[in-house]
C-alpha cells in the first residue's frame, strides 16, 4: 500500500479505479462504487474525468482502459536510454536461438516485458501450448516464477529479495513453482554460481525459460535477457550449453555497447 503521508487521496482513488477496471476487464459505475466504497457521484466524477482525458473508453455502460495508455507506454519504452541497444540484442538472441526472447525490467518487485521477439516456431494459430506462454509487451510476471525474474533477484541483497517476497508473495502457478524462501534462496545461489537462472516450468507447465542479468555501465543491473520455449525443445545440450552460451555472448556484447554509448563515455 502507498504511504498515505506521501500520496494525494483523490489521485490514488483514480489509480485504484483504473486498476479495478483493468483487473475486471471492464467495469460499470456500480462496480466501482461497490469495490471502493465511495459515493456514486464521486465514482462518476472520477470515471468521466478519466474518460475525457483518454485514459478510459466507454462501451455501453462499461468502462475500459483507454488507448492513451498505449501512447504513454510506447513513450516510456522509447525514451529509456538503453532501448535501442536492448532491442537489437533481443533480435540477435532470437535469431541465434530460434526461440522466443525478451527483455524485462524490475518494476516495483515484478518484472515487466519491454522488448520481445518471436521466431519461426511461434505459430500461435495452431499451437495451443504457445498461447499459454507467449510473452506480451507490457505483461507483468512474478519474479520467483520466471528465469529472467530469478536472474535479476540473484543480483540482489537478501533483504531486497525478502522485500519483494513480502510485497508479492510466491503464488503457486504450477506444481513446480518455488513457494518457500528456502527454495528461492537456494535457486538464487545456483543462478549466481552459473551466471544465469532457469525457470523450469515454474510459470507454465511445459515451459522453460533461461534468463541472464544485464548490467549497466555503473555496475547496477538494468534488467534481464531471456529465452523461453517448450521443454521438448529446450532440453539436453540446448538447455545446458547452447542457449546459455548464446545468452552469455549476446549479453557480453550488449553490456560492451552500453558502456561505449553511456553518457560521458
Q: Please tell me the distance from the alpha carbon of residue 145 to that of residue 168, in angstroms, as a whole number.
A: 12
Distance, first Cα to last Cα, the chain: 40
Residue 56's φ and ψ, nearest 5 degrees, are: -130, 155
Name the residue ranges covered by the structural domains of the chain. 9-66, 73-261
Q: Are 114 and 104 in contact (CB under 8 A)?
A: yes
Neighbours of 34 (CB within 10 A): 12
**Cα of 263 vs its chain's centroid, Å:** 27
Q: Global pTM?
A: 0.83
Q: Please tell me the distance from the alpha carbon of residue 261 to that of residue 157, in angstroms, as a whole number.
A: 28
Query: Whose CA is closest to 106, among 182, 161, 28?
Result: 161
- Rama region for 104: left / alpha / beta (φ>0; ψ in -120 to 50; rest): beta
Angle in degrees, CA 244, 249, 251, rounded to 5: 90
Q: Which grid cell sits at 68?
A: 492513451
Neighbours of 125 (CB within 10 A): 6
Q: Please tell me the distance from the alpha carbon of residue 147 to that of residue 143, in angstroms, as a whole number.
A: 8
Q: Please tell me the distance from the alpha carbon of residue 194 to that of residue 191, in angstroms, as a whole number.
A: 5
**pLDDT in 10s for each residue of the chain, 265 residues:** 455 556 789 999 999 999 999 999 999 999 999 999 999 999 999 999 999 999 999 999 999 999 999 899 888 888 888 999 999 999 999 999 999 999 999 999 999 999 988 665 554 434 444 444 455 678 899 999 999 999 999 999 999 999 999 999 999 999 999 999 999 999 999 999 999 999 999 999 999 999 999 999 999 999 999 999 999 999 999 999 999 999 999 999 999 999 998 887 6
Superfamily of domain 73-261, CATH level 4: GAF domain (3.30.450.40)
**Confidence at residue 96, expressed as pLDDT on a 0 to 100 scale:** 94
CATH 3.40.50.300 fits 9-66, yes or no: no
Q: Which grid cell sits at 104?
A: 524485462
Amino acid at each position: 500500500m502507498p504511504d498515505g503521508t506521501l500520496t494525494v487521496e483523490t489521485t490514488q482513488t483514480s489509480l485504484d479505479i483504473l486498476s479495478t477496471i483493468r483487473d475486471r476487464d471492464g467495469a460499470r459505475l456500480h462496480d466501482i462504487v461497490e469495490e471502493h466504497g465511495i459515493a456514486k457521484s464521486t465514482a462518476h466524477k472520477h470515471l468521466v474525468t478519466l474518460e475525457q482525458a483518454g485514459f478510459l473508453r466507454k462501451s455501453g455502460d462499461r468502462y475500459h482502459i483507454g488507448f492513451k495508455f498505449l501512447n504513454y507506454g510506447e513513450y516510456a519504452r522509447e525514451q529509456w536510454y538503453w532501448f535501442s541497444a536492448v532491442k537489437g540484442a533481443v533480435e540477435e538472441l532470437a535469431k541465434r536461438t530460434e526461440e522466443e526472447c525478451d527483455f524485462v525490467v524490475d518494476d516495483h518487485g515484478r518484472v515487466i516485458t519491454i522488448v520481445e521477439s518471436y521466431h519461426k516456431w511461434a505459430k500461435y494459430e495452431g499451437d495451443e501450448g504457445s498461447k499459454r506462454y507467449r510473452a506480451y509487451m507490457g505483461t507483468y510476471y512474478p519474479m520467483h516464477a520466471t528465469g529472467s525474474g530469478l536472474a535479476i533477484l540473484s543480483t540482489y541483497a537478501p533483504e531486497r529479495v525478502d522485500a519483494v517476497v513480502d510485497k508479492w508473495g510466491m503464488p503457486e502457478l504450477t506444481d513446480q513453482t518455488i513457494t518457500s524462501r528456502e527454495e528461492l534462496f537456494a535457486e538464487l545461489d545456483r543462478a549466481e554460481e552459473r551466471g544465469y537462472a532457469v525457470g523450469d516450468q515454474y510459470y507454465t507447465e511445459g515451459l522453460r525459460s533461461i534468463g541472464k542479468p544485464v548490467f549497466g555501465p555503473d555496475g547496477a543491473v538494468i534488467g534481464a535477457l531471456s529465452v523461453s520455449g517448450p521443454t521438448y525443445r529446450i532440453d539436453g545440450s540446448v538447455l545446458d550449453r547452447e542457449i546459455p552460451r548464446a545468452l552469455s555472448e549476446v549479453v557480453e556484447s550488449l553490456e560492451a555497447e552500453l558502456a561505449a554509448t553511456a553518457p560521458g563515455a
